[in-house]
Structure 1
Amino acid sequence: MGITRRRFAQGAAGALGIALAPRLVTPAIAETDPIRIGWLGSVTGPLAAPGVGFQRGMRWAVEQHNADAKARKIEVIERDTQGDPTKAVNATQELISRQNVNAIWGPGNSGESLATTPIMARQTMPNLHPCVVNSLIDTDKYPNAFRLAPSNIQWDDAVRNYTLKILKLTDVAILGDATGYGTSAVKDSVASFKKDGANVVYQEVIDTNQSGVTPNLLHAREAGAKALVIWSVTTGLNARLMSARSAIGWKVPIIGHPALGTGEVGKLVAAPGDWEDVFCVGYRSCSYDPNGKLPPRMQEFMDRIQGKIELSDSVLWWVADAVDAVDLIATAVTETGSTEHKAIIDWLNKQHAYPGLFGDYTFTPQEHNGYPTEEVVMSVANTQRNGAYRLAPGYT
């Protein structure tokens, strides 16, 4: 029996059958054939933290589906891109032309997605991804691409509003890693902070392998920064910045990217205290209330995956977002009865407040940014418990 959206959202263990059309030049696959999904993820190297989380969620969802004897089986063809856009391009071309996948989940970071999105668009390949760079969603250029996470505009809004309106700090330094994502995020963040009247006293992009970051922080302090805004997915760089802040005795808050709160950071900082006064982008769906409870839908999911998915070194939203990707595609095929590219895309374009785990997604033909802005908040970075966090102080 195929799933419905509400059945999955309520935590049932029903089939997660995914079926997407092959390339337009080939005939539709038989209903009994396995569904072939390509997964592009950086699961090794300095950018691996999100990729590992996305991979865990995807694998769990597929296992749930394949455990149903009545469900059409899923085959996942995984390619580790190692955070390298060139590897991601080569893998994308292979998945489409040689592996004949029916859909692609990923890439898992924006630097790679900037390189692969046009390739998938030329093949009208249904593509769901969690990448935040604003330009990755353009319904004229990429009508096949759907974002299952906030855009960087939404992240930036949450960081900027918390810094300026809740912490009431207007002199800021903005740093990022020297990836496609980090470079773009710093540029956008500087512009938006300045537009809101902040004084951006220092900005820089830093190589992910740069070991000594003390000079960067000294420059920021000398320029008069009262807060550090950091846009980096690299846990090693984030940890080095936190520890360098402590080493120079600089007591300013760090506000920024969700990766500031991944469990790996706690293992890499020089001392536990280095992780204090750090606030990362978070989500209400993955935030504990004052009684230590998650929202009901997410709490039910957590109960189901206990002992099955490791979360101590990852972030819950990465896992949940990948589960939602599988669920959305599966429900599209179930409700349309079709594996054609156009049918899947048309179905996605009609979804309003689709109840996923990570959030309720809304898409139209003109808008493929599906995540609700009101769900984006700031979290206390070192309060992670099973991949979720406590809301940062100041929210009502």
Structure 2
Amino acid sequence: MQINRRNLLLSSAGFMAAGLLPGFQSAVRAASGDPVKIGWFAALSGPYSTGALAQDAGHKAAIAELNAKGGVLGRPVELVARDTVADPGKAVNFVQELLFSEKVNVLFGPNTSGEAMPIRDFIAEANTINMPTALIDHVIDPEAYPTIFRVGGSAGQQIEAGITFALDHYKKQKIALFVDNLSYGVLCRDLALEKMKARNIEPVYVGTLDANKVDLGDDIIKARNSGADVLLVWSAASSFMARVLTARGEQKWDIPAICAPIALNAQITDLVKKEYLDGAVGVGFRHLAVDGNGKFAAGIEALLTKQASIVGPQLKNGITWILLGYASTKLWAAAVEKAGSVETDAVIAALETMGATETLFGKVGFSPSSREGLSMDEYALFTISSFQNGGFTLA
């Protein structure tokens, strides 16, 4: 057969139709400027939507900046979002739609652990990078699910930080532990007990409280009678946290109260009297720190100014979630640029070799054996009552 331009084109067309030119179609898409698709699914409405709405703004701000500079690899970036209402069934359906119908290049979310666990096999099947917000530790498994990375830290990290602050910052060891009786609260109780045991510490009181109980005064009295000199409060619900701190204030129990990161939002300062917040602190991230004028670090202030229309309305829901959406999007985009491709294996190799990267959220770095990106050095302790312009002062 004589080889000429016409025969070569016909042969290529035949191979492409038969699926025998891997990468050819993706190369054509890249050359044609087809969008890079970012999938994002979370509880964007309902009782678990506070953080997700703020994170949504962060993703949108990052994408706006990327597109203003020509996109990623010269291609525009498109956000494809789905609202799961924190329903695991909806999460499973939406994940399949995003992965196999929309064919997204990366998947952010979900923001609850109940949604994160049942979707992992679909992510593995699609061989797509996923960066969940869900805090439960065993969502991350580098061997079984190497495409799942976490930027924002885990429940285990946060509890470890809380215990460390009790021991090292306050020099207290008689710990009373309060959690709610929902699945995340029970998980955190077990994690806290495990981590205290590893330090040869036995809590003097453990209260697994009804998440809907209005008056927690009797529980505070029991904990106080145990001789506790520091209170550790862990929950994913602002309302529960507010009721614990209110009961503590009403009982005039003035020992330090170290609270989960959910305590560091405007809802707590709205729900709890200021005098009841004396001695109440929250475990958070260094990016939350503001100066005497209520100003964040320069990079964060620049984001809030440049993308005010996108992120401004969500600042009340937490700068942490805004920065998580923003930083994770920018981190993935940087890995794509380093790899020169949106192909999963190439982007994973880039993420594993980028080293510790400074983001607006904090220092994040991955390796072949680690998919937990956040450094423990990023955790800090903040005074809850100091809330100002979305930030807090260090305790």
TM range (shorter): 0.7 to 0.9
Secondary structure of the corresponding residue to residue 115 of structure 1: helix
Q: Structure 1 pair 291/386, CA: closer, same or farther in 2 (3 Å)?
A: closer
The answer (yes or no) to whether the contact 1:261–1:382 under 8 Å persists in 2 is no
Q: Does residue 384 of the first structure (1) align with residue 383 of the second (2)?
A: no
The answer (yes or no) to whether the contact 2:54–2:315 under 8 Å persists in 1 is no
Q: How many Å apart are 1:312 and its aligned residue?
A: 4.6
Secondary structure of the corresponding residue to residue 355 of structure 2: coil
Structure 1 range deviating more: 44-53 or 317-326 = 44-53
Match of 2:178 in 1: 175
How many pairs were matched up? 368
Secondary structure of the corresponding residue to residue 389 of structure 1: coil
Task: Give the whole-Å Cα distance in 1 for the aligned partners of 2:277 and 2:161.
Answer: 20
Q: Structure 1 pair 96/69, CA: closer, same or farther in 2 (3 Å)?
A: closer
1:126-205 aligned at under 5 Å gives the runs: 126-205=129-208
- Choose from 275, 278, 284 the match for 1:276: 278
Q: Structure 1 pair 205/50, CA: closer, same or farther in 2 (3 Å)?
A: farther
Task: Give the whole-Å Cα distance in 2 for the aligned partners of 1:150 and 1:298.
Answer: 19
Task: Give the whole-Å Cα distance in 1 for the aligned partners of 2:137 and 2:243.
Answer: 27
Deviations 1:12-42 (A, max 9, x none): xxxxxxxxxxxx9995371222222221222
Match of 2:64 in 1: 63
Match of 1:30 in 2: 29
Q: How many Å apart are 1:315 and its aligned residue?
A: 2.0
Match of 1:119 in 2: 122
Task: Give the whole-Å Cα distance in 2 for the aligned partners of 1:99 and 1:93.
Answer: 9
Match of 1:72 in 2: 75
Task: Give the whole-Å Cα distance in 2 for the aligned partners of 1:257 and 1:384.
Answer: 15
1:1-396 aligned at under 5 Å gives the runs: 28=26, 30-31=29-30, 32-68=33-69, 72-269=75-272, 271-289=273-291, 294-306=296-308, 308-310=310-312, 312-392=315-395
Counterpart code for 2:287: S
Task: Give the whole-Å Cα distance in 2 for the aligned partners of 1:255 and 1:318.
Answer: 21
Q: Which has the higher contact order (CA 8 A, sep 6+)?
A: 1
Secondary structure of the corresponding residue to residue 65 of structure 1: helix
Task: Give the whole-Å Cα distance in 2 for the aligned partners of 1:63 and 1:160.
Answer: 39
Task: Give the whole-Å Cα distance in 2 for the aligned partners of 1:207 and 1:45.
Answer: 21
Match of 1:17 in 2: none
Q: How many Å apart are 1:307 and its aligned residue?
A: 5.7
The answer (yes or no) to whether the contact 1:34–1:73 under 8 Å persists in 2 is yes
The answer (yes or no) to whether the contact 2:249–2:277 under 8 Å persists in 1 is no
The answer (yes or no) to whether the contact 1:214–1:244 under 8 Å persists in 2 is yes
Secondary structure of the corresponding residue to residue 203 of structure 2: strand
Counterpart code for 1:367: S
Q: How many Å apart are 1:210 and its aligned residue?
A: 4.0
Task: Give the whole-Å Cα distance in 1 for the aligned partners of 2:112 and 2:257.
Answer: 22
The two structures have a TM-score, normalised by structure 2, of 0.84
Q: How many Å apart are 1:77 and its aligned residue?
A: 2.2
- Identity over aligned residues, as a percent? 27
Task: Give the whole-Å Cα distance in 2 for the aligned partners of 1:81 and 1:205.
Answer: 28
Task: Give the whole-Å Cα distance in 2 for the aligned partners of 1:332 and 1:276.
Answer: 44
Secondary structure of the corresponding residue to residue 38 of structure 1: strand
Task: Give the whole-Å Cα distance in 2 for the aligned partners of 1:176 and 1:116.
Answer: 27
Q: Structure 1 pair 241/48, CA: closer, same or farther in 2 (3 Å)?
A: farther
Runs (4 or more) in structure 1 with deviation over 6 Å come to none
Structure 2 unmatched runs, 5+: 1-21
Counterpart code for 2:276: D
The answer (yes or no) to whether the contact 1:144–1:345 under 8 Å persists in 2 is yes
Task: Give the whole-Å Cα distance in 2 for the aligned partners of 1:87 and 1:215.
Answer: 39
Task: Give the whole-Å Cα distance in 2 for the aligned partners of 1:94 and 1:140.
Answer: 25
Deviations 1:109-162 (A, max 9, x none): 333223323432232220112333222222101100111022333222321121
Larger Rg: 2
The answer (yes or no) to whether the contact 1:111–1:179 under 8 Å persists in 2 is no
Secondary structure of the corresponding residue to residue 140 of structure 1: coil
Secondary structure of the corresponding residue to residue 349 of structure 1: helix
Deviations 1:293-328 (A, max 9, x none): 544433433443446423552222211121111112
Secondary structure of the corresponding residue to residue 303 of structure 2: helix
Q: How many Å apart are 1:177 and its aligned residue?
A: 3.5
Deviations 1:95-116 (A, max 9, x none): 2233322211111233322332
Counterpart code for 1:185: C
Counterpart code for 2:57: R
Counterpart code for 1:287: A
Q: Structure 1 pair 26/215, CA: closer, same or farther in 2 (3 Å)?
A: farther
The two structures have a TM-score, normalised by structure 1, of 0.84
Deviations 1:320-371 (A, max 9, x none): 1211111122222222221211111121111202221112221111111111
Q: Structure 1 pair 306/98, CA: closer, same or farther in 2 (3 Å)?
A: closer
Task: Give the whole-Å Cα distance in 1 for the aligned partners of 2:233 and 2:310.
Answer: 32
Aligned CA RMSD, in angstroms, stands at: 2.6
